[in-house]
């Protein structure tokens, strides 16, 4: 056991607590009320534009609306006390220089003060579209225009239909997914800090999921961390698909930097997990060995032991989408169907949606959420000013609408990237990806790692200062 790692974690936990405490002292009276699920029938207020979700999309649309017209009456409803960024959070797992949990946690006081939108710390529990009312844990908010940016939820029930509620709760606690801001990131960091020699297993969701390169960046950062701390073991990725985002760039980096420490197991479907025994059972495909000379692949069931399991379940749209009774795609994610080349929903002209939940074929990323937030603010501002508006992407492609970096190495820090150009297909806004190589001929470079840090700092400055 490495005591230094445990000591470092204690310091990290204290700094996050300090940030959270600072954020609480900046709360408004409404925010300071105790959290709870009790739904009050009391009408608290009416706002011209209400945004559900104070994440990447929600904060961007709120700020952009106020920049377009300071007289717009904008309220953001957010259930968490503080903002926590998922982008760049894998750098914390890798223990890159100067990074700690407090790098990702921000208080909402600063943007509220600077841009002048309102913020209610409450959880949305129901939406009545006919009455244009949002039910929250503190009371009812009325709206003229509603923007949804609630992000994702986990679909343990859909992926593991035979698991009991108790088993799901146990698995959630013991094998943190860390794909949604919150304590699960702290839990995963703690487990890695306390781990003995042994393997770390990461499971990849099926279907649409938040930030498709995230599990693979995480594998890179865990491998970097294990190497640095001299922890013996592998990082095993169980992927239901054969390939993944930035595939060639990740594979090249892993081969160069980690020998065979990172093992990608394609076509691997999880069957069961036993958090007490620390075992995971899955179906996978291997080369046939039973009949000599026949070759080919066969499906086998395997059970392996893990030291830390990062079980990332399938994703679905946040329940807020269902509360709004909007038309959604028929897949297991349930993406919000949009009204043509727009961020207005197909179902209700007074409800807009942005970020991870939209059915446009653009990557579910923070950068895209921010882009869609700006587009949506433009649309709403034109509408409220009585002017016609067409999204620029309808007439000309948007170059690098999404730029997504992934850290792959430490000492020296190196990263890879993908850019997506956005265009209108006549049905949806679509993103076409390109993974560039560095001048060295390799995908990864130190320059891209610097760009990753710059992108993150810029994104946070855009939301908070």
First to last CA, the chain: 41
Tokens matching residue 420 = 């997506």
Determine the Cα–Cα distance for residues 362 and 369; give it in Å rounded to an integer: 10
Binding residues for ligand FAD restricted to 175-234, rule: CB under 6 A: 179, 210-211, 214
Nearer to ligand FAD among residue 90 and residue 328 (C-beta): 90
Verify binding: residue 78, ligand FAD, rule CB under 6 A. yes
Among 47, 49, 53, 147, binds ligand FAD (CB under 6 A): 53
Verify binding: residue 139, ligand FAD, rule CB under 6 A. no
Non-local CB neighbours of 340 within 8 Å, separated by 6+ positions? none
Verify binding: residue 87, ligand FAD, rule CB under 6 A. yes
Contact 144, 48 (CB under 8 A): yes
Verify binding: residue 58, ligand FAD, rule CB under 6 A. yes
Among 75, 124, 204, 336, binds ligand FAD (CB under 6 A): 124
Verify binding: residue 127, ligand FAD, rule CB under 6 A. no
Q: Output the smallest distance, CB 217 to ligand FAD, in A.
A: 7
Among 100, 103, 149, 175, binds ligand FAD (CB under 6 A): 149
Q: Output the smallest distance, CB 405 to ligand FAD, in A.
A: 6
Nearer to ligand FAD among residue 284 and residue 362 (C-beta): 362
Q: Output the smallest distance, CB 56 to ligand FAD, in A.
A: 4
Window contacting ligand FAD (CB under 6 A); options: 13-21, 190-198, 261-269, 358-366: 358-366
Contact 153, 287 (CB under 8 A): no
Binding residues for ligand FAD restricted to 359-388, rule: CB under 6 A: 364-367, 369
Verify binding: residue 235, ligand FAD, rule CB under 6 A. no
What is the size of the binding site for ligand FAD (CB under 6 A)?
A: 35
Residues lying near ligand FAD in the complex (CB under 6 A): 52-58, 77-80, 86-87, 89-90, 123-124, 149-151, 179, 210-211, 214, 318, 320, 355-356, 364-367, 369, 404-405
């Amino acid at each position: 056991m490495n005591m230094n790692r445990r000591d470092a974690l204690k310091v990290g936990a204290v700094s996050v607590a300090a940030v959270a405490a600072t954020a609480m002292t900046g709360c408004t009276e409404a925010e300071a009320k105790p959290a709870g699920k009790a739904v009050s029938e009391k009408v608290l207020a009416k706002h011209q534009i209400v945004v559900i979700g104070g994440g990447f999309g929600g904060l961007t649309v709120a700020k952009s609306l106020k920049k377009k017209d300071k007289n717009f009456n904008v309220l953001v409803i957010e259930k968490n006390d503080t903002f926590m960024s998922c982008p760049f959070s894998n750098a914390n797992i890798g223990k890159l220089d100067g990074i700690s949990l407090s790098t990702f946690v921000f208080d909402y006081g600063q943007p509220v003060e600077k841009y002048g939108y309102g913020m209610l710390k409450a959880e949305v529990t129901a939406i009545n579209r006919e009455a244009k009312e949002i039910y929250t844990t503190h009371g009812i908010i009325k709206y003229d225009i509603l923007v949804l940016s609630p992000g994702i939820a986990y679909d343990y029930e859909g992926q593991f239909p035979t698991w009991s509620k108790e088993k799901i709760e146990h698995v959630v606690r013991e094998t943190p997914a860390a794909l949604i801001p919150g304590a699960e990131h702290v839990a995963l960091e703690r487990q890695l800090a306390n781990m003995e020699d042994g393997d770390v297993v990461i499971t990849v969701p099926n279907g649409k999921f938040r930030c498709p390169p995230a599990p693979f960046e995480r594998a890179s950062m865990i491998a970097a961390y294990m190497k640095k701390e001299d922890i013996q073991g592998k990082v095993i990725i169980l992927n239901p698909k054969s390939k993944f985002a930035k595939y060639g760039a990740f594979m090249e980096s892993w081969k160069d930097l980690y020998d065979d420490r990172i093992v990608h197991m394609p076509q691997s479907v999880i069957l069961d997990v036993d958090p007490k025994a620390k075992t995971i059972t899955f179906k996978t495909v291997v080369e046939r060995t039973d009949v000599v000379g026949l070759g080919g692949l066969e499906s086998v069931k395997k059970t392996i032991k893990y030291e830390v399991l990062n079980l990332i379940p399938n994703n679905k749209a946040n329940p807020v989408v269902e509360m709004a009774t909007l038309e959604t795609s028929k897949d297991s994610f349930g993406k919000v169907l949009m009204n043509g080349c727009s961020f207005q929903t197909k179902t209700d002209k007074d409800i807009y949606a942005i970020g991870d939940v939209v059915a446009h074929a653009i990557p579910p990323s923070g950068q895209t959420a921010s882009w869609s937030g700006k587009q949506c603010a433009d649309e709403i501002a034109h509408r409220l000013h009585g002017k016609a508006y067409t999204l620029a992407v309808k007439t000309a492609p948007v170059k690098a609408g999404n730029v997504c970096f992934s850290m792959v190495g430490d000492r020296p820090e190196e990263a890879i990237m993908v850019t997506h150009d956005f265009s209108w297909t006549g049905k949806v806004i679509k993103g076409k990806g390109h993974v560039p190589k560095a001048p060295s001929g390799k995908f990864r470079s130190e320059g891209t790692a610097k760009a990753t840090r710059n992108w993150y700092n810029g994104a946070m400055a855009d939301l908070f200062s």
